Structures are given as C-alpha cells and as structure tokens.
Amino acid sequence: MIFDFENKTLQVKIVYYGPAMSGKTTSVKSLFSCFNKENSLKSIESTVGRTLLFDFGVLKFKGAKWNLKFLVYSATGQDFYASTRPATLNGVDGIIFVVDSQKECLEHNLRSWNELEKLFGHEIYNIPIVISLNKYDLTQINKLQEAEFISCIEYTKFKQLSLKKTAAIKGEGVLDSFSQLIKFIFPQLTLNLEVSN
Ligand SMILES: Nc1nc2c(ncn2[C@@H]2O[C@H](COP(=O)(O)OP(=O)(O)OP(=O)(O)O)[C@@H](O)[C@H]2O)c(=O)[nH]1
Ligand SMILES: [Mg+2]
C-alpha cells in the first residue's frame, strides 16, 4: 500500500490469482465493466486470448478526505510463464483467488494455491484473500462445494479469508467478491462504489 500525501491518495494493489483458465481475466473484465471501465483495461494476451503476463487496470474512488486508487492485476495461469507470477504479486495488498469449481479441477486449483503459499511462506496468513469459486453457472457438472475446498486448505490460519460463488462470465458475484476484499483491507470504510476519473 502506498500513501501519496501530496495527492491525498491511497494506492492499493489487488491481484487475481489462480490456476490456468479458471476465469481470472473474465473476472477482471467483468469487474471493470461494472464501472464502465472495460476499455481502460490492458491485457497482454496470446492470439488465442490466453494471458501472457497479466491484465492490468486502475479503479479510482473518491473519498471524503482520501481517494483510493486500486491497481488491479490478473496473473497468468499458464505454467510456461510461471516465472512472471512473483513479480505480479510483489507488494500485493489483497488477493482474489479464482478457483475453477469443476470438481475434476480440484488438484489443479490446489497446485496453484500451494504455489501461492510457498511464495509467501507464513506471510500468506496475513494477506486478505477472497476465494472465488468460479464457473458456478455450469449446471451439468459436478461442482466443488465451499466446505470441500476449505477442508483442503489451512483455513483457520488465515486472518481474513472468505469464499464466494461466482459466475464471472455472467458478472455474478464479481463485485461482491471485490467489495468483500476491500472490506478486509479497510474494515472501517463504507465505500461508495462510484469511480472517479
Ligand atoms: N461457464 C463459465 N465459463 C467461464 C467463467 N469464467 C470464465 N469462463 C471461461 O473460461 C475460459 C478461461 O477464462 P479466462 O478468464 O481467460 O481464464 P484465465 O484464468 O484468465 O486464464 P489464463 O490467463 O490463461 O490463466 C474462457 O473460455 C472463459 O469464457 C464462468 O464463470 N463460467
Ligand atoms: Mg487470464
């Protein structure tokens, strides 16, 4: 978190993290479209729409005394570019961990989760995290339940951790997850979610 005293702005870094193809880019796009800011999002993608390095965008909110500036990133899920993920996470203030809630993806999700734990060590327990169980719109498939995912991680060690079901492709639960993360980072804040330019 960076305090810019001159401009009375607090700069906060949020990263969407998770396994390949879980819906990180879709979540960030959906979040930005909630504020009509989709066009301001920068994505570094391959020709088939896979994230090469990250997606990046800025959301600014006006406060009474201080303004908030959120730098929002999504890390690449492709293991070929895994070496770029620590840089994307550097200085992060809050993480949205996007899970692919298809049951067969459990291992895939846990591999990514374990990577995150390994990168931060014990520090991970102090970072606010919202787990988004994404693709909850898929009806024909067997889906991961919250309890199931929780039982696979050391849930109680985390100071601020919450789970939300999302369907990023329909924009469902995306803003709710983001708001929860902001509440974790700024517990005293009642945020008026209206962006400023
Ligand atoms: N049904 C369904 N499909 C989704 C949802 N979110 C994303 N997808 C699809 O999942 C695929 C991968 O989505 P991306 O947002 O590119 O995933 P990503 O996590 O950014 O992938 P990488 O950057 O390659 O790691 C795309 O075909 C999306 O349309 C969702 O909520 N429901
Ligand atoms: Mg992506």
pLDDT in tens, 89-135: 999 999 999 999 999 999 999 999 999 999 999 999 999 999 999 99
Spatial neighbors of 8 by CB under 8 A, at least 6 apart, are 65, 66, 67
Lining ligand 1 with CB less than 6 A are 20-26, 50-51, 74, 76-78, 134-135, 137-138, 167-169
Q: How confident is the model at residue 84 (pLDDT cuts 50, 70, 90)?
A: confident
Number of domains in the chain: 1
Which residues span the domain enclosing 61?
A: 2-196
Are the C-beta atoms of 104 and 82 separated by less than 8 Å? no
| Pairwise pLDDT comparison (53 vs 12), residue with the higher score | 12
Amino acid of residue 185: I
For the chain, the average pLDDT equals 90
CATH of the domain at 169: 3.40.50.300
Q: What pLDDT is attached to residue 164?
A: 96
Pocket test for ligand 1, best of 21, 42, 81 (most atoms within 8 A of CB): 21
Instruction: Please give the number of the atom of ligand 1 that sits closest to the Cα of 51.
Output: 23
The pLDDT of 150-167, averaged and rounded, is: 95
For 104, the 3-state DSSP assignment is helix
